Structure 1
Amino acid sequence: MCEKNEYCNLLQSYNWAKVKNNWDHLYTGVYKNNELVATGLVLIKRLPLSFCMYYLPRGPIMDYKDKELVQYYFDQLKKLAKKDHCIFIKFDPAIHVNDYDSKSYNINRYKDTEIYLDIFKSCKATHHGYTMSIADTVQPRFQSNVYSYENIEETLPKHTKRLIKDADRRNVQIIHGQGELLDEFSRLVELTESRKGVALRDKEYFKTLLENYPEGSVIFLATCNVYQLDKEAKEKKVQIEKDMDATPENAKKKLHRLEDQLQSVNKDINEYKKIFDEFGQEDKEIAIAGILSIQYGNTCEMLYAGMDERFKKFMPQYKEYVENFKWPLIEDVCGVIWVV
């Protein structure tokens, strides 16, 4: 039911309990006329003195406008919670309130939410409000969504297309896989943690995600071969210098153009030298950015990303984002969600 429902979410999938293996869990559901009409993955955090809390991440999954169903589900869940010495139940359903272009300000974002809030309040639930700080919620309230198209490259902004061309000019390549890319992806995430002063997840956690979603998980890596870039730049420099020597002094426009080209290629060579000082001058591909995504139901969520800041001028993330947007395995996928 979860994968077909409009409120489908990865965090309510069966295997999410295996990912959150430091919590206990319950699988709950409601049948009506032999049809499953509601499901809920309940994560259970054990507390001191035999108490606990229940948490339904992005759940439960049901028709939230069906007041009778919502009331019944939570009445039954509260009975279970009472027996389990649960002191409170927390839930944050994936109700799509509204969406708007990132360049716009949405002044009507909460106009259609009262019907949901009234039903939840009738179940004795307390709404914590439309908070604006990410620290005030367990799950993010705002998400950047990119909806899939057949030729998604044609819909990209000019700025994005230009940055992808910058990545192409530096021969940035995109590869994808699973466990075989885990070491490099984890290294990139660690670099991001150090740079931003945040704690994300470690290699074992990423491995758990891949193992529990073998059909829907993917790692994308952006790679480049700096050795080859340096070789090409030096060959280009030699040719420019030859052209300059062969150009008469009175051809000032051509000389000026060649001088600009020489200045640019020298800048690239100096940049590559700094990279060699850290990585060594080897003829090999280097992973410079990565994304771990999981496709579930009708969305693909970019869960974690990392980048080596030393390669930020290579613009790898733009190219790998687009490759990820095109990746979802099912043909009728309706959207790609990038969680930020």
Structure 2
Amino acid sequence: MKIITITKVKFDAFGLQHPYSTFYQTSNYGEVMSHFGFVPNYLGFLDDNNNMIGASLILFKKVFFNFKYAYAPRGFLMDYKDPKQLAEFTKELKKILVKQNFLFITIDPPIPCTKRNKKGEIIAVNNNINEILNSLKLNNYTHYGFNNYFETLKPRWNAFIEYKNDSSSLFNQINKKNRQKIRKAARMGVEIFQDKENNIEKIYEYFKIKYHRRNLKYYNLMKNNFKDLLETYYCFLNTNESLKNAKIIYEQELLNNERLNENLIHKNNNKNINKKINSDKLLNKYKKELITATKLATEHPEGIIIGGGIFIKHANTINLLIEGHDAKFGRFNCNYLLKWHVIDKYIQTNYKYFNLNAITGIFSHKNKLYGLNESKLDFNASAFEYIGEFNLIINDFMYKVFKIIKNKNKILKK
């Protein structure tokens, strides 16, 4: 086996067809990371007949004197099921890296271990996962472990929707709670608009505090390098429409409440009393919403942006990169409508999956991030568990020295 440097064009063409292809393994992403101290290299793996059987974007940076760290984001694009190929490739890669003063290289390939439902119950298993794991360990790749939260550079658990049905069928498969939130957002005047100009500065306001690991520069570079593959959407609150709908809902319940009051006069029983109590509660709730809607329409007659998200199209998948909303408008559930809008847009296209991004591997209510899992998996998504993160140590002695002096996670901010 030979490892050679290849052009960006050749690398992207190979990567786009590979089963482990992700937008992290593209020259677009390599160029983004070149602005954060990393140098992108594009490598091709050739067999004895000079056929390209693998490839990888490898990012590297100096971290300790003249020693370097390398990272293959989402792993090498190769056949991990072939132990001979993995052994030959690893041997050749180490020869190259040791000559160039590398300490170690990190990989986190999207090799699925299991596919699970929202309860965490296994519905599919990768029958090759144990062989792949053993093969990696035999070649001295150190496994971080089967972590369930976000301790690694990329999440080990992701939520995916598989496009199989038409819009109506897919919507009806969404959990009732999420369907109600989607309908409520639309009823309360939330509208979703795509920003053709991809104004990152405007949308960044809605997630800069929650997702502080990535700054404005990062998202602007993602826009500039992914170009038409990146899409930005706003959650726009049409305050006049919100007020109109709030009035209709309040007036309808007011009529219902008056009717129930008449029923009580003629037939005072527990059933009618309970109906009246429930209606009183709803009437009070809708009155408060009407007051809020009136205030918003007065303060923002032209409407107001309350949230948004960024999505990346790659190969056969639509990827949710990031989303957020103004906490003051959380009750409008705009991000539920946002996700459904983009999911629905790409139904019956050539895209097969919608990646809702990271979740955790703990499915019980005791999980401190249970709400994150629930909000995504209730879109009738499946939880995909990946094999995890590995380090391949190149210079064992200097790596140990490096670990003592520097904390890896402080170095690898990007």
Per the TM superposition, whether the score is higher than 0.5 is: yes
CA distance in 2, matches of 1:239, 1:140: 47
**Match of residue 99, structure 1, among 107, 115, 119:** 115
Answer whether contact 2:324 2:335 (CA < 8 A) is retained. Answer: no
Describe the shift of the 1:298–1:258 C-alpha distance in structure 2 as closer, same or farther (beyond 3 A): closer
Task: Give the Å deviation of 1:262.
Answer: 5.2
Instruction: For residues 281-338 of structure 1, give each alpha carbon's deviation from its aligned partner in whole angstroms, at most 9, with x where no partner exists.
Output: 1322322221111111122221111111221211111111112223459933221111
Instruction: Specify every segment of 5 or more residues in structure 1 that has no aligned partner in the other structure, as ranges.
Output: none
* Structure 1 residues 72-101: Cα deviation after superposition (integer angstroms, max 9, x where no partner): 222222122112100111111110111110
Q: After TM superposition, give the deviation of residue 240 of structure 1 in Å.
A: 8.5
C-alpha displacement of 1:134: 1.7
| Count of residue correspondences | 329
1:115-143, CA deviations, whole angstroms, 9 ceiling, x for partnerless residues? 112221232222222123422x1111111
Which residue in 1 is equivalent to 2:243?
Answer: 230
Q: Give 3-state SS (helix, strand or coil) of 1:272's partner.
A: helix
Determine the C-alpha separation between the residues in 1 that align with 2:60 and 2:311.
26
Match of 1:36 in 2: 52
On the 8 A contact 1:12/1:41 being kept in 2, the answer is yes
C-alpha contact (below 8 Å) 2:21/2:77 kept by paired residues:
yes
The answer to whether 1:311 aligns with 2:329 is: yes
Is 1:269 aligned to residue 290 of structure 2? yes
Partner secondary structure for residue 306 of structure 1 = strand
1:43-97 superposed Cα distances (whole Å, 9 cap, x missing partner): 1021231001111111100111122222222222212211210011111111011
Q: Which residue of 2 aligns with 1:143?
A: 158
> 1:39: how far off?
0.5
- 1:145 is displaced (CA, Å) by 1.3
Quick one: distance in 2 between partners of 1:111 and 1:34? 30
Bigger fraction of residues in strand: 2
Q: 1:162 to 1:108 in 2, by over 3 A?
A: closer
Q: Give yes or no for the alignment of 1:169 onto 2:184.
A: no
Greater alpha carbon shift after TM alignment, 119-128 vs 34-43: 119-128
Write out per-residue CA displacement over residues 221-266 of structure 1, whole angstroms, 9 at most, x where no aligned residue.
221122442355458768988x79x99x956689x69967753442
The correspondence of residues 1-340 of structure 1 with structure 2, limited to 5 A, is 1-21=14-34, 22=36, 23-32=38-47, 33-106=49-122, 112-135=128-151, 137-151=152-166, 152-190=170-208, 193=209, 196=210, 199-230=212-243, 233=246, 263-272=284-293, 275=296, 281-328=299-346, 331-340=349-358
* 8 Å CA contact 2:181, 2:336 repeated in 1: yes
SS in 1 for 2:207: helix
The structure-2 alpha-carbon separation of the partners of 1:200 and 1:274, relative to structure 1 and needing over 3 Å to count, comes to farther
CA distance in 2, matches of 1:10, 1:147: 18
- RMSD between superposed Cα atoms in Å: 3.2
What is the Cα deviation at residue 274 of structure 1?
A: 6.0
Task: Tell me the percent identity.
Answer: 21
Does the CA contact (< 8 Å) of 2:198 and 2:223 recur in 1? Answer: no
Label 1:328 to 1:57 Cα distance change in 2 as closer, same or farther (>3 A): farther
Give 1:162's aligned amino acid: Q
Residue 26 (structure 1) shift: 1.3
Shift of the 121–283 alpha-carbon distance from structure 1 to 2, 3 Å rule, reads same
Q: Tell me whether 283-292 or 330-339 shows the greater mean CA deviation.
A: 330-339
SS at match of 1:52: strand
Gaps of 5+ in 2: 1-13, 266-271, 359-414
- State the distance in 2 between where 1:125 and 1:262 align: 62
After superposition, the Cα gap between the structure-2 partners of 1:64 and 1:234, relative to the gap in structure 1 and judged at 3 Å, is closer
1-side partners of 2:123 and 2:178: how far apart? Answer: 27
Structure number with greater CO (CA < 8 Å, separation at least 6) is: 2
Measured in 2, the distance between the counterparts of 1:238 and 1:269 equals 10
Amino acid across the alignment from 2:87: Q
Contact 1:189 1:307 (C-alpha < 8 Å) held by counterparts: yes
Letter of the 2:16 counterpart: E
Q: Normalising by structure 2, what TM-score?
A: 0.70
Given the superposition, is the C-alpha separation of residues 224 and 149 from structure 1 closer, same or farther in structure 2, using an over 3 Å criterion?
A: farther
